[in-house]
Structure formats: structure tokens, C-alpha cells
């Protein structure tokens, strides 16, 4: 019996509670006139008494609602590892609401009123190519809007847009990337809501430039599309195209300057005498430096580009030349210690080179140059000298001369190779 009394008491309590809520809601929708209140309060009651935020702001439903749009970027975040751009900006929206007009003379000359965007109808401007589907990028967030007595509404919400970009790291660290943001209505056709660009559609004044990336708006255009599902309807889309260019200051010092240094180091290896210990030590160090640079570059470069960065190709080719210089040094050191008779083609090559003044200048050392000028006189006056020792010295000098010729040819070939690599891989602009 007590349980029945308890249930009956709860039922009566809930019934009274429901009736009170209904009376309160009726009192709001009735919009009873209040005499002792401000004119602004009367104006808002006049505007919003029967206002419905879900109804498009036209008296005739066949009349299109024109919305003018202007993008005002403020901050930029770009993640080159995920190819996503986050643009923090203001968005200026302007349209006419035929349900929000009044005569200022009826309200003490009040011609404008500030309202929350939640209190009025706002266009459902959405990002079609969102880079993060977990974020809500549909409609206009809560902000203050200005309503003019003619029905014009101006809203400037602060928004953050995330979109995917087309990344190209071919000329890293001088890379440029292209990003696009596509705006349009999520649930209305162009016959209901038509978007327009305000003049050029954007304004860069007040933009705080990123220390790592430079932002430029390449183009802002309106595209009207039709789809097979709805052949009689149009769908206007606003497309903003951005160019994002890297500031290469820090990366230039970290990777480009060492690249020039290792080129000079490789050429220095080929310049030195192959018989010297210093050349072998520098060649080994040069090869190790190439490997360390490539390993470090591997962890610094994003791995989501379609093309291999040219700087990585440069280090790869330079590593091959450094390995060539190291192997050549070892072979030439072995070649200089040979005592066997030189082949005829080698002797002919050496004679051809030494017969030229430039060849003697590049190939012969100072002592050998002096000996070559006095050798003829010595042979004429001393015909009874030891021929075997002379032949041994001739063999050794022939192999040394041949090694010197190979050194110079290698130096010239590697220099030309580096020039070709720079012409092919270095960006022209």
C-alpha cells in the first residue's frame, strides 16, 4: 500500500513539473509587452519574438540568399610530415535577412544591433576537403554579429581550417607546396544559398608570418558545379589556392653548407699526391662524412613526397665519387710501387704528355724537372754509367708518371661530374 502511495506521489509531482515548464515556454513565445524597459529590449523582442533560426531568411522561399565571403588569414601551421595545413583566420560573412528589418524611427533611432550568431540564421559554410575528419568544420561557430535595420547581417567569426596539401620535396630545403581550401554549403543548393567573393575574396593585412613557412594566396575563385544526381541544381564552391614556401635559413646552414664542403674535400683528395699518407687519411674521412650526412638527412626529410629530394640524390652521387676517390687512392699507391716493365701504350702515353710543356709542369716534380733538363748532357758525357740502375729508375719513374696522369684525369673528370650534378639538381630559381 505504501508503494502505491509513493508511485502516486511521484506521478503527481512530475505532472505539475511538466505543466510549469509548458507555462514558462508559453510565456516566452507569447512575448508579452513590457512597458518599463529599454528601447533595445523592445527592439530585440520585436525582432526575435517569432524568429526561427532554422528557416532561411527570405519571405519567398524561391528567392536565393546571397552570401558574400572574405577570408582574412591570421596564423599558419604547416606539418610537412603529414601534408596538412592549419589556417587560423577570420571569415567575413555578409548576407540579408528579410526577417530582421525595422524602422529606426520606431525605436529611438536605433539602426544597428549586436546579437549572437546562435540567435539568428547563419549559412552552413563548410570545408569540403577537410584534412581532419574528426574536427567539426561545418557552419559558423558562435560569435557576435552585427544586424543593420535594412536586414543586412555581418558576421566575422574566428575559424581554424585543416586541409590536405599537395607536397613536393624535390627541391628541399627550397620546397614549395600547394594547398587548397574548398568552401560550400553542406545542405543547400545554389538556388537556395549562393556564395560570392568579396572583391578578390581575401585580405592579408594583419597576417603574422610564420618563421618557418611563407604563405601566399595564389588565387581565389568561384566554381559552379553540377552533378548527375541533381541535373537541375547548381552547387557553388569557393576555392582558395595557397602557396607555402619554406624559409631555408637553418636548414641551409645544416645541410647545404656541408654539401659544398664535402665537394671541396673530395676534390682535395684527388689533388693530393696519391703516394702521401695524408691523401689516404682524408679520403677515408671524406667517405665517412658522406655516410653521416646521408644518415642524418634520412631522418630530417619527410617521407611522404612523390619525388626523391634532389639534395638526397646529390649526397648519393657525391658518396659514389668519394668512394671512387678512396679506391683510386689505394690503387695508385699500389701502382707507384710496381717495378715491372711498363706496357708500350703506357710508355707512349707518358712520352706524349711529357713532350708538352703543360704536361711536364703538371706531372714532373721539381727534382725530376731539373733532372730532365740535365739528363741529355749527362748521357752524352758519361756513356759508361750503370745501365741497370738507370733502367730501374726509369721503370719506377714511368709508373709514377702514369699514376700522376691518372690523378689529373680523375680530378678533371670528377670536377666536370660535380658541375653536371649541380646543373641538374640545383633549382634554377
Q: What is the pLDDT along the chain (429 residues), one digit of tens a residue?
A: 555 555 555 555 555 555 544 443 333 445 655 566 788 888 888 888 888 888 889 988 888 999 999 999 999 999 988 889 999 999 999 999 999 999 998 888 899 999 998 999 999 888 888 877 666 667 788 889 999 999 999 999 998 888 888 888 888 888 899 999 999 888 888 889 999 998 888 998 888 888 889 999 999 999 988 887 777 888 899 999 999 999 888 888 888 888 999 999 999 998 888 778 888 999 999 999 999 999 988 888 888 877 889 999 999 999 999 999 999 888 888 777 666 665 665 556 655 555 666 555 455 554 444 444 444 334 444 444 444 444 444 445 665 666 777 788 888 899 999 999 999 988 876
Domain at 37-246: CATH architecture: Distorted Sandwich (2.70)
HSE, CB side, 13 Å, CA atoms: give it for residue 231: 1
- Number of other residues whose CB lies within 10 A of the CB of residue 120: 19
**Which letter does DSSP use for residue 254 in this model?**
I
Q: Which fold has domain 250-357+394-425?
A: Methane Monooxygenase Hydroxylase; Chain G, domain 1 (1.20.58)
Where do the CATH 2.70.170.10 domains begin and end in the chain? 37-246
Q: What grid cell was written down for 138?
A: 561545418
CA distance 289 to 269: 13
CA distance 347 to 50: 108
The answer to whether the predicted template modeling score (pTM) of the entire model surpasses 0.95 is: no
Look at the alpha carbons of 350, 351, 356, 360 in this order and tell me if their dihedral is positive or negative: positive
Amino acid at each position: 500500500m505504501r508503494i502505491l502511495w509513493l508511485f502516486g506521489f511521484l506521478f503527481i509531482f512530475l505532472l505539475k513539473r511538466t505543466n510549469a515548464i509548458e507555462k514558462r515556454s508559453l510565456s516566452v513565445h507569447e512575448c508579452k509587452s513590457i512597458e518599463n524597459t529599454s528601447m533595445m529590449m523592445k527592439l530585440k523582442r520585436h525582432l526575435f519574438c517569432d524568429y526561427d533560426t532554422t528557416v532561411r531568411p527570405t519571405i519567398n522561399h524561391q528567392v536565393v540568399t546571397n552570401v558574400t565571403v572574405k577570408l582574412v588569414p591570421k596564423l599558419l601551421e604547416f606539418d610537412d610530415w603529414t601534408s596538412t595545413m592549419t589556417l587560423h583566420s577570420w571569415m567575413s560573412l555578409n548576407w540579408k535577412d528579410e526577417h530582421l528589418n525595422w524602422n529606426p524611427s520606431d525605436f529611438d533611432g536605433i539602426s544597428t544591433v549586436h546579437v549572437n550568431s546562435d540567435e539568428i540564421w547563419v549559412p552552413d559554410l563548410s570545408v569540403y576537403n577537410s584534412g581532419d575528419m574528426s574536427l567539426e568544420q561545418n557552419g559558423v561557430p558562435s560569435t557576435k554579429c552585427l544586424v543593420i535595420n535594412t536586414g543586412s547581417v555581418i558576421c566575422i567569426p574566428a575559424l581554424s581550417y585543416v586541409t590536405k596539401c599537395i607536397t613536393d620535396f624535390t627541391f628541399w630545403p627550397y620546397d614549395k607546396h600547394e594547398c587548397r581550401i574548398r568552401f560550400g554549403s553542406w545542405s543547400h543548393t545554389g538556388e537556395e544559398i549562393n556564395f560570392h567573393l568579396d572583391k578578390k575574396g581575401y585580405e592579408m593585412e594583419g597576417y603574422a608570418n610564420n618563421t618557418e613557412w611563407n604563405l601566399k594566396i595564389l588565387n581565389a575563385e568561384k566554381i559552379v558545379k553540377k552533378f548527375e544526381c541533381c541535373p537541375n541544381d547548381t552547387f557553388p564552391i569557393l576555392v582558395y589556392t595557397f602557396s607555402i614556401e619554406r624559409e631555408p635559413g637553418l636548414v641551409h646552414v645544416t645541410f647545404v653548407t656541408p654539401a659544398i664542403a664535402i665537394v671541396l674535400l673530395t676534390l682535395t683528395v684527388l689533388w693530393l699526391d696519391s703516394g702521401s699518407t695524408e691523401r689516404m687519411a682524408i679520403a677515408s674521412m671524406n667517405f665517412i662524412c658522406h655516410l653521416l650526412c646521408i644518415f642524418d638527412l634520412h631522418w630530417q626529410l619527410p617521407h611522404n613526397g612523390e619525388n626523391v629530394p634532389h639534395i638526397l640524390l646529390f649526397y648519393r652521387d657525391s658518396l659514389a665519387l668519394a668512394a671512387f676517390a678512396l679506391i683510386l687512392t689505394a690503387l695508385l699507391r699500389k701502382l707507384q710501387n710496381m717495378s715491372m716493365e711498363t706496357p708500350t701504350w703506357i710508355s707512349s702515353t707518358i712520352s706524349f704528355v711529357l713532350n708538352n710543356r703543360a704536361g711536364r709542369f703538371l706531372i714532373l716534380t721539381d727534382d725530376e724537372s731539373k733532372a730532365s733538363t740535365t739528363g741529355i748532357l749527362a748521357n752524352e758525357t758519361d756513356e759508361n754509367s750503370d745501365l741497370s740502375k738507370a733502367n730501374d729508375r726509369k721503370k719506377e719513374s714511368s709508373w709514377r708518371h702514369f699514376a700522376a696522369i691518372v690523378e689529373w684525369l680523375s680530378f678533371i673528370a670528377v670536377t666536370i661530374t660535380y658541375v653536371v650534378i649541380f646543373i641538374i639538381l640545383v633549382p634554377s630559381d
